[in-house]
Amino acid sequence: MRPLRVCIALVLIGLRSTLQLPTAQGLANPAGATAFSSLVSPEEPVSTPDPLARANILVSRVAKLTASDPHENSSFGWAVAVSGDTAVVGAPAVYSEYGPSGAVYIYRRNQGGPSAWGQVMKITPVDTDQVEYFGHSVSLDGDILVVGAPSTTVAGHDGQGAVYIFSRDLGGSEAWGQVKKLIISDGGPEEYFGSAVSLDEDTLVVGAPAIFYGGSDTPGSAYIFYRDQGGQDNWGQINRLAASESGGDAFGSSVSIDQDTLGVGAPEYQHPEGAVFVYERDRNGADNWGRTARLIGVQYEGVGRSVSINADTLVTVDRVYERNQGGADAWGLLTRLRSVDYDSDDEFGASVSIAGEMILVGAPSADVGSHVTGNASLFLRRGESYPQGAGLFASEGAEFDDFGASVAFDGETIVIGAPSADLTPHGDQGAAYVFAASAGSWFHFAFLPGILRNYCSDYFDDFSNPASGWPVGEDEYVKTEYLDGEYRVDPKKSNYIYFFRAPTCNRLNYSVEVDARWEGDPGASYGLLFGITGNFDQFYLFDMNTDYREYELVRLTPSGWAFIAPPAYSPAIIPGSAVNHLKVTRNGNQITLAVNGNTLGTWLDSAIGGMTGVGLVANPYYDDPRADARFDNYHVNLLPGVGLQSGAPGTSSAWQSLESWRLLPAHSSWR
């Protein structure tokens, strides 16, 4: 892990990016800036890592967004938004002749081809000479786009900030014309109006955190504007909210509105606790926004750095609150989110977005393999818990890309920013990634002829005999064949993981081993199946990724995936396309894994059945079906027992002609 980075100025994400707004101490990390910790009070509910949800979320990467006119250190991806078929990416550090004026890029689904996301426009402010960091915050709802430029100079006040509102098709088809520029009439210097924006239909909320770490006498604020207030298509101020008048709370650093409910983050409130304040429309009077809750964090949690609200659920950093939890109109803590690979240095929760029953959380300092590239986690609600359903990252990511610095979620479309991604020849240009996610069950069944064996001794196959019984055939998903003394699995679709049952009988206690390699480009993983019961009703997966030199042990049941051993690094794994020898030993409820003669560990799992089958697995990367897996020297040996030898009666059973192979979508720790 790289050391945790503290917050910088009003940019509460605290990224390595060049985008750093002035503070009272200059660009140095200010004393007292909020940092993350992993503190969890004993009485607080935690959604523990539970990959059972993975089979209930299908995630696939759709597109990688980059600027048509790339700029070095532009922080493209610092802010993202999505609504329907439109995605918006902020690049607040794009330079003009006047300095970091910033820009916003707009993309449309199916622009440039089916399912493609093509750029349709780049927006820059008209008054470039006064604007700074345009695109630091963005919010999109239908045909209205809001862009924050928090360091903009107004009436000679540096850093007072401004917000720009644009409308689709104003000035031509797919043009986005400026409707309004919002400033606060009584604003002063360094209030940073526009640090955060949130739009819902005809209501807009703008944060002005007025951050001076180390002692500001200016309170942070959140301003509420209504469309048509003061005239048609005018956006008029209706209210100003503040946590206190004492200043230094960073109130307005994050904002989120859904219908009549508003959440405002104040990560420096009662430092180092932080808080989110909840308001309701028409509370104690028409158009009055009355405060209904103050959600205070524990020391150094970073509560208020991020916030997203949907209906009766609010998420800030890793905490999920729900309306009426603990009493009528109360907002009580429902659970805390934890990813499978959670680490306190990940900046987990630097960005959050909630859509329906799913929550998306960014962790821009998380490790992916051996690199600190950042990742994001998708959580699916199950009762009063939110187990992780999927992990997302950029397979081509590099060190300090800050993937997950910004996230946006609408319907089934996810956009994730990586503002420090290097794109040759432009360092730290930044990128954004589009994913499709949906909840449900996606089991695809495939049947190929099986082979009946009434009794089994130890089994060995060097794949020299093409009639030995492994599934052979080709359809729209995969091609399998015996080729040059190896068993070949050649996927055609990249969003699936491919399972194959060995043509041998079930056994009680056994070892299974195989030589495996990639032909050409490595895929996400290959490995061994064991513990197969029925028609793949339950089975275990020992697979490994040769790029990251990591392995995992997973159980699949009708309920979904469960990690027995989460992904872990092993120097025993030979990288690239070299041959690796994998071995599993199952002895009762004891499972031992080994690679290339090196034992990786032993785990106990009481869920493993009695007589179970074995097989193989191959898994391409999510965006590349070229994962030509080759297998050779497949062994299954019965373990000796008291009075029992290999092949003794009662220790093996006939494999009925059930499914020969199956494919399932979108589970991989290395996608």
* CB neighbours of residue 156 within 10 Å: 7
CA angle 137, 76, 18 (to 5 degrees): 90
Residues of the chain with CATH 2.130.10.130: 57-439
Q: How confident is the model at residue 361 (pLDDT cuts 50, 70, 90)?
A: very high
Q: What angle do CA 509, 512, 518 make, to 5 degrees?
A: 160
Confidence check: pLDDT of 50 > 80? no
* More confident of the two residues 627 and 375: 375
What's the token pair of residue 20? 């750093």
Mean pLDDT to the nearest integer, 459-470: 90
Q: Which of 31-45, 300-314, 621-635 has maximum average pLDDT?
A: 300-314
Lowest average pLDDT, out of 1-5, 19-23, 72-76, 465-469, goes to 1-5
**Binning pLDDT at 50, 70 and 90, where does residue 47 land?**
low
Structure tokens of 667? 């589970």
83 DSSP β-pair partners: 86
**How many whole angstroms separate alpha carbon 584 and alpha carbon 565?**
13
Strands 459-461 and 496-501, sheet pairing: unpaired
- What percent of the chain has a predicted confidence (pLDDT) above 70? 80
Cite the residue boundaries of each domain of the chain with CATH code 2.60.120.560: 459-640+653-665
Q: Which residue has the higher pLDDT, 580 or 379?
A: 580
Q: What's the CA gap between 326 and 322, in Å, rounded?
A: 9
Instruction: Judge residue 25's burial from the number of C-beta atoms within 10 Å of its C-beta, 0-12 exposed, 13-18 middle, 19 or more buried.
Output: middle
Highest mean pLDDT range out of 49-58, 113-122, 618-627, 644-653?
Answer: 113-122
Question: What are the pLDDT digits (tens) for 341-354?
Answer: 778 889 999 999 99
Please report where in the chains the tokens 């996610």 appear, as a residue.
437
The band of 445, judged by pLDDT with boundaries at 50, 70 and 90, is: very low
Distance, in Å, from the CA atom of 386 to the CA atom of 394, rounded to the nearest integer, reads 23
pLDDT score, position 396: 82
Structure tokens at 515: 């030589």
pLDDT value of residue 621: 79
Would you say domain 57-439 falls under CATH 3.30.450.20? no
Average pLDDT over residues 395-412: 91
pLDDT (mean) for 562-575: 92
Residue 104's pLDDT is 98
| pLDDT score at 203 | 98
- With 90 as the cut, is the pLDDT of residue 494 above it? no
Contact 255, 263 (CB under 8 A): yes
Per-residue pLDDT for 412 more than 80? yes
Band of pLDDT at residue 71, cut at 50, 70 and 90: confident
What per-residue confidence (pLDDT) applies to 623? 60
Calpha distance 27→276 (Å, rounded): 26
In tens, the pLDDT along 172-188 reads 888 999 999 999 987 88
Cβ pair 607, 555 in contact under 8 A: yes
- Is there a contact between 243 and 296 (Cβ–Cβ < 8 Å)? no
How sure is the predictor about 664, in pLDDT bands with cuts at 50, 70 and 90?
low
Mean local confidence (pLDDT), 117-122: 96
CB 126 within 8 A of CB 181: no
In the prediction, which pLDDT does 217 show? 61
The CATH number of 459-640+653-665 is which of 1.10.340.30, 3.40.50.150, 2.60.120.560, 3.40.50.1820?
Answer: 2.60.120.560
Confidence band for 38, pLDDT divided at 50, 70 and 90:
very low
Q: Dihedral of the CA atoms 74, 79, 83, 85 (nearest 10)?
A: 30
> Using 50, 70 and 90 to split pLDDT, how confident is the model at 413?
very high
Mean residue pLDDT of the chain comes to 81
In a 10 Å sphere around its CB, with 0-12 CB exposed, 13-18 middle and 19+ buried, how is residue 327 labelled? exposed
| DSSP notation for 596-662 | TTEEEEEEE-TT--SSBEEEEEEE-BTTB---EEEEEEEEEEEPPBTTB-TT-TTSEE-B-S--SEE
Is residue 294's pLDDT more than 50? yes
The pLDDT tens digits of the residues spanning 300-342 come to 788 999 999 999 999 999 999 999 998 888 999 999 998 877 7
Predicted confidence (pLDDT) at residue 171 exceeds the cutoff of 80? yes
89-93, 229-233, 519-523: least confidently modelled range? 519-523
Say what the pLDDT of residue 455 is.
38
HEC string for 461-486: ECCCCCCCCCCCEECCCEEEEEECCE
Cis peptide before 272 (omega within 30 of 0): yes
Given a cut of 60, whether residue 40 has pLDDT beyond it is no
